[in-house]
């Protein structure tokens, strides 16, 4: 079993009958969703809230009952991957392009667990490009602003060179800034720019990190 599968399946142990569960996105969250699918097939009653079209498709195939975030008044637990995790459990997400829906779901969750391997642990955030989701109208002007701020922006592209569109119908501009000394303040500054929908800095949202390593899975404390 690979490390992503190990940690995804470990996280599924936190799911209890009757819960409303946020289902994350990415190659690690994939294994969590698969495990939840098996638990549902065995009779567990849960409702899933997905964080991307890709996860929705996966969950539907597995027969997991789903509701949208607008149809539930809370989410008990969300399990998701991350691209970088700092010692205070601030992190960067959005490598898979799902940051907006992931953050909407995380903010409505009573508990958020991240599932990662050791390669995701960092002292300071920013070596991984920081995704910023922007409305398509005016995106080139915003890109120029980011250039002027020396954020070294690049548009997220598809394999054919066209601009990547998120599930919300927006572009992603990846910023290259290292280190991000204060993710809370920097996140706030980004949100003030007109046209920015969301950014991939996740702060004060995650209560538990499950870390996979060749030695097994352990729980990290912030």
Which residues here bind ligand 5RP, judged by CB under 6 A? 24-29, 80-83, 93-99, 102
User: Which one of the listed residues 9, 84, 102, 133 is annotated catalytic?
Assistant: 102
When the beta carbons of 94 and 153 are compared against ligand 5RP, the nearer one is: 94
Q: Which of 50, 219, 98 is nearest to 36 (CA)?
A: 50
94 belongs to an annotated ligand binding site: yes
82 belongs to an annotated ligand binding site: yes
When the beta carbons of 44 and 69 are compared against ligand 5RP, the nearer one is: 69
83 belongs to an annotated ligand binding site: yes
For the bound state, the minimum distance from the C-beta of residue 92 to ligand 5RP, rounded and expressed in Å, comes to 8
When the beta carbons of 4 and 64 are compared against ligand 5RP, the nearer one is: 4
When the beta carbons of 33 and 142 are compared against ligand 5RP, the nearer one is: 33
Active-site residue flag, 219 = no
For the bound state, the minimum distance from the C-beta of residue 203 to ligand 5RP, rounded and expressed in Å, comes to 14
For the bound state, the minimum distance from the C-beta of residue 222 to ligand 5RP, rounded and expressed in Å, comes to 18
56 belongs to an annotated ligand binding site: no
**13 token code pair:** 């142990």
171: enclosing H helix or E strand = strand 171-175
Q: Which of 182, 196, 139 is nearest to 164 (CA)?
A: 139
- CA-to-CA distance for 163 and 141, rounded, in angstroms? 15
Query: 84: number of CA atoms within 13 Å, CB side?
Result: 22
Burial (0-12, 13-18, 19+ Cβ within 10 Å), 50: buried
For the bound state, the minimum distance from the C-beta of residue 183 to ligand 5RP, rounded and expressed in Å, comes to 15
Q: Which residue has the tokens 């996966």?
A: 58
- CA-to-CA distance for 84 and 64, rounded, in angstroms? 29
26 belongs to an annotated ligand binding site: yes
Q: Which of 170, 88, 93 is nearest to 129 (CA)?
A: 93
Residues with a catalytic annotation lie at 102
Instruction: Show binding-site residues for substrate.
Output: 25-28, 80-83, 93-96, 120
Instruction: Show binding-site residues.
Output: 25-28, 80-83, 93-96, 120
């Amino acid at each position: 079993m690979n490390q992503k599968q190990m940690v995804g399946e470990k996280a599924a142990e936190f799911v209890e009958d009757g819960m409303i569960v946020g289902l994350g996105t990415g190659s690690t969250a994939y294994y969590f969703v698969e495990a939840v699918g098996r638990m549902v097939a065995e009779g567990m009653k849960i409702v899933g809230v997905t964080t991307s079209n890709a996860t929705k498709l996966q969950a539907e195939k597995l027969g997991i009952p789903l509701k949208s975030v607008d149809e539930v008044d809370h989410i008990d637990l969300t399990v998701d991957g991350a691209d970088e995790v700092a010692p205070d459990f601030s992190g960067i997400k959005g490598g898979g392009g799902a940051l907006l829906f992931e953050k909407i779901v995380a903010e409505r969750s009573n508990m958020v667990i991240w599932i990662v391997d050791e390669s995701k642990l960092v002292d300071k955030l920013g070596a991984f490009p920081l995704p910023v989701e922007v409305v398509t109208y005016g995106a080139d002007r915003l890109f120029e602003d980011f250039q002027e701020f020396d954020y070294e922006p690049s548009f997220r592209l598809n394999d054919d060179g066209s601009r990547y569109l998120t599930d919300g119908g927006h572009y992603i501009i990846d910023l290259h800034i290292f280190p991000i000394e204060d993710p809370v303040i920097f996140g706030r500054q980004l949100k003030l720019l007109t046209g920015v929908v969301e950014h991939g800095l996740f702060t004060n949202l995650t209560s538990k990190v499950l870390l996979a390593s060749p030695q097994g899975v352990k729980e990290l404390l912030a």
